[in-house]
Structure formats: C-alpha cells, structure tokens
Chain A
Amino acid sequence: MGTKRQFRIWRGDADGGDLQDYTVEVNEGEVVLDVIHRLQATEAPDLACRWNCKAGKCGSCSMEINGMPKLGCMARMSTFEENETITVTPLRTFPVIRDLVTDVSFNYEKARETPAFAPPADLAPGDYRMQQVDVERSQEFRKCIECFLCQTVCHVIRDHDENKPAFSGPRYFIRAAELDMHPLDAKSDRKEYAQSEQGLGFCNITKCCTEVCPEHIKITDNGIIPMKERVVDRRYDPLVWLGSKIFRRGQVPQTFVTSEHSPGAVRSHAPSGGTHSHAGGSHDVKSETQAQQGVNWHREVPKPTAPAVDASGRLPLTELTFDRAAAPSPFGDDVTFPLPPEHLNFAHPEQDEKH
C-alpha cells in the first residue's frame, strides 16, 4: 500500500514561477519520476517534464531533487525519509521552457563547436585496427548519456552565467579527452583547443561533475586532470617553451599516429585466390575482382544528398528551432532503409549465383 508524501515542485516558465505543494501517493519501489507521472495523471495534468527511458540510459529526466542534480528515474523514493518534503526543480543553469523542462541548447552548441574525430590520412574507415588497451580510456567517456547533470552542477556556469561563451563544461572536456586519447585520432591540437577555446583553465577541479555523474564516469580524475596535464606538456613546461624559442618550433611534433596495418590489410585477409574464383559469375573483370575482395571500402558508391540545414548552414539544434517537423537526418533525406545493395561497399562473394 502506498503512503502519502509531500512534494514541492517548481511550476512556471521564463516569465516566472514558484514552488507548489503537492501530496502524492507513493508506492514501494518507486522513483521520483514515477511520482511526477502520478501527478500528471491526477492533479497536475499540465505539469511539463522531459523523460524517455525510465532506466537511466537516455539522460532526459535530469532535474534537481532536494537541490542536487539527479536523474528523476534513478532517484529512489526509499532514499528519503517518510515525513520529508521533497523539492523538485528544473536544472538551474539553463533557461527554463516550462516547469521541469529546460532549454539545454547550450550543450548542443558546445558539442557542435568541439572538433569531431579526425580520421587518419592513410587509412580507410574499414581498415581501422586498434588494441583494447589503447581504446579503454576513451571507452569510459563513451558511457556518457548526455544528461548534462555535470554541466548544470558546474559552478563555473551555474553561478557565473557570463562564463558560458568561454566555457564548454565537463561533458565536452571528456569529449576532448576521449579524442585526444584515441589511438587513431589525427588531430594534434586538442590540448591547445581545450585550453583556449573550451576554457579548461576555468575548471578548479572541485569535482562536482564526478559526484553527480549517473554513469559514474571519473570525469575529473580520468578526463579533466589528464587534459590539464596534457596542456601543461604544451604550454607551461619551461623546458618545452625554451626549446620552442631556441629551435623556433611552432609546436611540439604531434603524437605520431600509427597503425600496423596498411590500407590493403583487409583485402589480404579476405577470402581470395583460387577458392572463390567462380564467385562473381559475371564476365566483368572489375566486379569479379571486387566480389572476390568482399569488403572494399574504396569503391565509389552513389553519394546521398546533403542534409537539410538551417539558415546558418548547419543542422538545427532541435526540431523546435527548425522549419519542418521531425529531426532532419544528418545523412540527407533521401536515404532509405534497407540500403540498396549498390550503395554498399560490401559485395558478397556469391552474390550473383541466385540470379
């Protein structure tokens, strides 16, 4: 049987609002998001709340519960006292849209500014080979569900809104760290970028990002501090500085991007030689060769149309700010699934036998 619990929930929008009291039934095993849903089903049908998976994996239901940024779906009611009044407010750092829903565009803008993975020049996408020990550090940061709890708790922008243009926030520091530690990333100036463009120097490592991370990523110890140390390598190391003055080097030589594999490595391992010489069945020598090779990442395939972009020439941040319904595809709108075979780089060795 459920018990009655006291809640104070912030209701309002950008023009103002306040905390309103509710008494809600709470059953065993429920989380705060369940209570929000019960409120929507009963006395507050117009209470706005963003949510999706209810499993702590989508990062939608970020809110502040008793003043601490948390996921609503991961905040168990059993962690509160029975007679405790639980306060639920929207994320404080971002502009409010309504009730518990905030406009987190800031994060998407920072994401768009962060340089993406830079592919190595001498490798085609299918030829990447990496060892587990080399990618392990980056994989920790891939656990990020982009709930932006670290972004909202960070006092650099939470308490000082004026720092927003210069500061990207913990989520994008671990993105920079993820790529800088990536064994095949060819971009060598991520440290300089993190310092000068992302505002890494603003961070005073008070570790609140790590404290609130629902994925338990060690944001500070494994991401931000290693990035700060990498910046020290480049910018504050007097020996390096002296060396660059004496030898007039613009930059320390970039970390050498290496791979044991030549671009042709996949082909040499693919079934080839005499065993499947009949595979293609066609008399076109070129497609016969391709069929024998199986995967060929270098084959020219038809290019899809460009994605639908907004006035700034970029994908819109959200569908709210775009002129058409639903989110545009970054691959262009003419892509259909399943992909037509001629759009694939994979040719089955026996593809022609059925015809």
Chain B
Amino acid sequence: MTSSATKPRGARARAAIAAKTLRTDRWWLAPLATVIGLGAWITYATVRVFMHDYYWVEKYGYLTPFYSPCVTDRCLPEASHFGQYLPGWWIIPDAAFTLPFLLLFRLTCYYYRKAYYRSFWLSPPACAVPDGHASYGGETRFPLIVQNSHRYFFYFAVIISLINSWDVVLAFRSPDGFGFGLGNLILLGNVIMLWAYTISCHSCRHIIGGRLKHFSKHPVRYRAWGFVSWLNVRHMQLAWITLGTLALTDFYVMSVAAGWVSDLRFIN
C-alpha cells in the first residue's frame, strides 16, 4: 500500500480527460426550458407594464396585479386605491412603487438565482458541465454580493402582498353591491399563491425560526418554522406557479377590460 508508486507527488495533476463533460443525458433541457419560460414571461410583463391600458374593470372592480397600486396621474382615479404621486410619463410603470421591489425580490430569490445562474449565466449550465466563464468569484464581491439583501425585499414583498390582498377584497362587488364572478376566483387564487410563494421564501424561513439555536425554548416559532419549511420545499414550484397565475390574472383582467370576453358572474 505504501509503495512509492502510489505516493502523491509534488506536481499533482488531475486525470487527463479531454471531454468537457461525459454526461449523456439531456442536461441542457432544464436550462433551455428556464430560458424560454422566463424569457416569455419577462416579454409579456414588459409589454403589459408599458401598455398603460386595460388594467381596470370598472364594473366589477378588477385591478390587475401589474398595476397595483396605480400611483401615476395617468391612472384612472377609481383604480388608484392608494392615491397618485407620480407624473404620467409612459416610461414610468403605473405601479412604480411596487414593481421594482417585486422584481428585486424575485431577482435575489434563492430559487431564481439557481435558475438564472444555470440557464442565463451558464455558471454552471448543469451539474458536472463546465462553467462558461474563465474566472469565478461567486457572490463574494460587488455586484453579486448584493444578493445578500434578499431579506429586505422579502419585507417589501409582504407589504405588497397585503396591498394585493386588499385589491382582492375590494373586487368583491358589482354595480348592485356585493357580487363575485370568475374574475374574483382568479384574483383570489393568484393572491393565495403569491402569499404561499412569499411565505415559503428562504429568508422568511430563517427569520421565522431558522435563526434560533434552541427550538425547545420557542415552541410557537418552531411550529411556524415547520410550516414555512414545508412550504419552502415547494419554493421552486411556487415560483413558477405564481408566474403563471400572475400572467393569467393579468390576461383575464385585460380580456375583460378590453371587452374580448365578458366575466362569468356567479352572484350579481
């Protein structure tokens, strides 16, 4: 065993394997699907945000989450639940107080980081497939060190989820008073999934109880941590589901507002 033939020597080389990767499965499928999925969603969202139209159904009080809260002076007054503070230039999104924080919340999210580091930045594209870059500093320095601020965007996301929830409550109406239809179910489903995504955040899991050293001394926080951990396992699924529900909700509100379809009403 201790023969000189097997002793490590001074110059130590890795095995000379020419192939960059020897993986034979379709490792490129997941990053490709991510690029297509995120690319399509970002395109749709960008178009909708700068459309400045079809975001409010006056008859039933539906407001799309992409315009909530509507704070520029080009907003319809009845759609501005929280007042108007900004000039109505087309370059300013009508929900300018919330969209940047939502974008940053998702940009710094631990799941989305995995998704775009792999698929857009190729660092690495898949496990045991080489990094597409010559050097690598990770999140040790600017700008990527800013990813550590995820927690603060989580706090903003909670406030924004409250605003979205309030929009859902306000939408339970019709010209005759109380009422609800398919649009309400879509808005409600969307906001429930948004809450699930927000609560399942890794930073939330840490704040709610993960940072504790003694769970036994904090039984309530331990239970809350257990619940958030259960959700947290599904963070990736929730991240994609909420992209879907956001786009669906927005598209439904746009369709009703533009008069392409009429809302299916259950009560009034």
Chain B interface residue count, Cβ-Cβ cutoff 8 angstroms: 58
Asked if A201 meets B138 with Cβ closer than 8 Å, knowing A229-B206, A231-B148, the reply is yes
Interface residues of B in 70-121 (CB under 8 A from A): 110, 113-114, 117-118
A-B CB pair tally, cutoff 8 Å: 176
Inter-subunit contact A212/B127 (CB<8 Å): yes
Contact count band on A: 35 or more
Taken residue by residue from 3 to 23, chain A's Cβ proximity to chain B (1 for < 8 Å, 0 otherwise) reads as 000000010101111110000
Q: How far is the CB of B109 from chain A (nearest CB, A)?
A: 10
Contact of A232 among B113, B117, B151 (CB under 8 A): B151
Bound together, the chains give a CA A208 to CA B128 distance in angstroms of 8
- CB-based contact B15/A233 at 8 Å: no
- State whether B206 touches A159 (Cβ < 8 A): no
| B232 contacts across to A, CB distance below 8 A | 221
Query: Which residues between 115 and 148 of chain B lie within 8 Å of chain A, taking CB atoms?
Result: 117-118, 123-124, 127-128, 130-131, 135-141, 144-145, 148
Is B176 positioned at the interface, with any CB of A under 8 Å from its CB?
no
How long is the Cα–Cα vector from A185 to B39 in the complex, in angstroms? 46
By the criterion CB–CB under 8 Å, are B130 and A201 in contact? no
Query: Contact at A203–B128, with CB atoms within 8 Å?
Result: no
The reply to whether A134 and B216 contact each other, CB–CB distance below 8 Å, is yes
Nearest Cβ on chain B to A39's Cβ, whole angstroms = 18
Knowing A64-B22, A67-B23 are in contact, say whether A103-B2 is a contact too (CB < 8 A): no
Please pick, from A14, A102, A133, the residue contacting B11 in the complex, using a CB distance under 8 A: A14
Partner of B13, one of A96, A136, A221: A96
Residue of A whose beta carbon sits closest to that of B219: A133
Cβ of A161: which chain B residues have Cβ within 8 Å of it?
A: 14
Tell me whether B14 and A201 are in contact (CB under 8 A): no
Question: Looking at the complex, which of A83-91, A284-292, A346-354 is the stretch in contact with chain B?
Answer: A83-91
* Complex contacts, B217 vs chain A, CB 8 Å: 258
Interface presence of B26 (CB below 8 A): no
Instruction: List 29 A-B pairs, Cβ < 8 Å.
Output: A10-B15, A14-B13, A18-B16, A19-B17, A66-B23, A67-B22, A67-B23, A89-B15, A92-B15, A92-B17, A94-B14, A96-B13, A96-B15, A97-B8, A103-B12, A134-B215, A136-B215, A158-B128, A159-B124, A163-B136, A181-B213, A201-B141, A203-B139, A205-B110, A205-B113, A207-B114, A212-B127, A226-B210, A232-B148
Known: A133-B222, A159-B130, A162-B135. 20 other contacts (CB 8 A): A14-B9, A66-B24, A69-B128, A89-B22, A90-B15, A103-B12, A131-B214, A131-B215, A159-B124, A159-B131, A199-B138, A202-B136, A203-B138, A203-B139, A204-B117, A206-B117, A206-B127, A229-B151, A232-B203, A320-B8
Interface residues of A (CB under 8 A from B): 10, 12, 14-19, 64, 66-69, 84, 87, 89-90, 92-98, 101-103, 105, 131, 133-134, 136, 153, 155-156, 158-163, 181-183, 199, 201-208, 211-212, 221, 225-226, 228-233, 235-237, 255, 257-258, 319-321, 325
